[in-house]
Structure 1
Amino acid sequence: MKKTKLIIFGLLLISLQSCCPFLVDCDNNDDDFPIDPAFSQYEPILLDRNDFENSVSLKDPISINTSGKIYSKDNLLFINEVHKGFHVYDNTDPTSPTPLKFLEAPGSTDLAIRDNMIYINQATDLIAIEYNNTDGITLTKRVINVFPEMRSPDGFLPFDIPENNVVIGWILIN
């Protein structure tokens, strides 16, 4: 009987350790996502909100430097250039894709396509565009501040961002 009480007491003590405020002085620190910018090795790249909202454009093809996700739709291939936009390729012959255009969208990280509408995660905004090889692109909708601010590669949040500016990337501080 004494052994059973000791085991129950031990289990109760172990379970109470998860009740942080009662047994331990908790600062509620979240070490996985530090928010103190003083220790980040990166500096945010900012773009004025008006310039940001007018920054989506179709340009001549460029070479791939930092590729991200790849998306295929019909005979088109979209390759993300991290935080810059999307390379558009004609993928009719998968053994030799032909570069068509570069869809510039600063701060972009991902896209999805449904019924010929392209949805792009552009920094904090969600945009919807229509793409046509001959006519180019048409921005049909922008929903602002759908996504959280972009974190630095070492996990820090941007600090002291001027009003009407958007973080579109991060650059390593030398």
Structure 2
Amino acid sequence: MKKTKLLALGLLLMCLQSCCPFLVDCENSDDDPVFSRYRPILLDRSNFENSVSLKNPTSINTSGKIYIKDDLLFINEVHKGFHIYDNSNPSSPTPIKFLEVPGSTDLAIRDNMIYINQATDLIAVEYDTTNGITITKRVINIFPELRSPDGFLPYNIPENNVVIGWTLIN
């Protein structure tokens, strides 16, 4: 019986020790909690909702998914927006505009409506090469907060602020 209790206690201690990386920084062992190596980039709600705009073309830095709709090519600039190209000649696409959408991660296109995941919101945008863009609908807080690149959820975010990206803490 004594051996069983000692074995159970030993297993319990081993299990608790394996939890150490999730609870504290075991190497520094100051009993400081482990946090993300990234700091959230915030935008207050009213600026966030008015942040979608059409800009002149820019170079691609961090590309995400690619979408094709008719003669248009959309390339996601992760958490920043979408590069729009004239793809009528697929061997040489021509940059048209940059659709700035802070916090954007994905889009879907149906007919002439572009549905964009803008951080926590879903927006519906009409794009016309001559008239620009029109936001026709916004559904707020339909998606979860953006996670940091190392997998952490944001904490202590001030009220009426939205995480639109992450920056590495040096």
Query: Which of 42, 67, 79 is the equivalent residue of 1:83?
Result: 79
Instruction: Answer 1 or 2: higher relative contact order, Cα 8 Å, separation at least 6.
Output: 1
Unaligned runs of 5+ in 1: 1-23
Q: 1:95 to 1:43 in 2, by over 3 A?
A: same
Q: 1:38 to 1:163 in 2, by over 3 A?
A: farther
Where does residue 64 of structure 1 map in the other structure? Answer: 60
Paired residues of 1:37 and 1:159 also in contact (CA < 8 A)? no
How far is the alpha carbon of 1:39 from its aligned partner? 1.9
The correspondence of residues 1-174 of structure 1 with structure 2, limited to 5 A, is: 38-174=34-170
- Count of residue pairs brought into register by the alignment: 149
Paired residues of 1:59 and 1:103 also in contact (CA < 8 A)? yes
- Aligned-partner Cα distance in 2 for 1:103–1:95: 22
Q: 1:37 to 1:78 in 2, by over 3 A?
A: farther
- Aligned-partner Cα distance in 2 for 1:166–1:65: 23
- Aligned-partner Cα distance in 1 for 2:137–2:143: 15
Quick check: which has more Rg, 1 or 2? 1
- Aligned-partner Cα distance in 2 for 1:78–1:51: 24
Unaligned runs of 5+ in 2: 1-11, 24-31
- Aligned-partner Cα distance in 2 for 1:48–1:102: 22
Calculate percent identity across the aligned residue pairs. Answer: 80
